[in-house]
Amino acid sequence: MNYVELNNKVKMPNVGIGTFLLKPEDAENSVREALKMGYRLIDTANAYVNEKAVGRAIKSSGVNREDIFVSTKLWPSEYENENAIDETLERLGLDYIDLLFLHQPTGNYKKGYQQLEKAYKEGKIKSIGLSNFEGEYLEDIFNNFETVPQVMQVECHPYYPQEELRKVTEPKNIKIMCWYPLGHGDRSLMEEEIITALANKYGKTNAQIILKWHIQMGFVVIPGSKNISHIKDNFDLFDFNLNDEDMEKISELNKGIRYYNGTKEQLQGYAAWSPEYEK
């Protein structure tokens, strides 16, 4: 396991398991098995409706709580709920959260960030994150709050390596956590000629080459799966390194292509939607 150091000196694993789109029973099984394999970073969210399942997996894993790094996200409908963080802790069955994000830059996100700052100072959360905040939204946070976030979670992969965002985050040592690190499984990316050639060269899978590129770029990756063999493969990244020339070849794949583009209309919809939490 390798770690990155956040701008508040907290150490965070650079490879974790994501639980986006996993039903509670699948999330519980995947997280429990991942922890057995050596994973120590777990990512979930209010909106994934599987926080209770993640909490059950942590409890049953036998791994010490202090050795596990848990990240989750407040949904916009919770930004003005002053009990939202306590309720999130209750669903997870935890006394603290290692990293808590605001999930989307919509609704009353300033009130949401106030809640994060308060919880951070109280020790309920150990680090603050923003998910999908870029451009004007990110500047708004920088200009209006005392605490600089530690992590930015955004879409990031060789087709879209977040060059512009990194110009803002790197001077402040804000780490990038990547969702869709494998391009949402797009075969065009996964089967790029250079990726396949490097997989053959290093004796690894195409997915492992892409994930290793992320790690060597300084990113944190959270590929998700309910397939146990895929979960194992996604963690088998620490016995090789890509050389500088091969890293450059992968970086040349940058096409400025996103797989997801949230519109203002979609963001407004997010602000209105409220998750039906797992019972």
Q: Clarify whether 113 is annotated catalytic.
A: no
Phi and psi (nearest 5°) for 149?
-65, 155
Structure tokens at 168: 């803002």
Element (H, E) at 154: strand 151-155
Helix (H) or strand (E) holding 138: helix 135-144
Return the closest-CA partner of residue 70 out of 24, 138, 9, 129. 129
Residue 17: beta bridge partners?
A: 42
255: number of Cβ within 10 Å: 11
Q: Residues of 114-141 as b/e, b for ≥16 C-beta within 10 angstroms?
A: bbbeebbeeebbbbbbbbbbbeebbeeb
Please state, in angstroms and rounded to a whole number, the distance separating the CA atoms of residues 89 and 91.
6
Backbone angles phi, psi at 226, to 5 degrees: -105, 0
Tokens representing residue 210 in the block: 């892409």
User: How do strand 128-131 and strand 151-155 relate by DSSP bridges?
Assistant: parallel
Q: What are phi and psi of 263, to 5 degrees?
A: -90, 165
Given 48, 113, 159, 160, the catalytic residue: 48
**Edge-to-edge strands, sheet with 99-102:** 17-18, 41-43, 69-74, 99-102, 128-131, 151-155, 175-179, 220-221
Catalytic site positions: 48
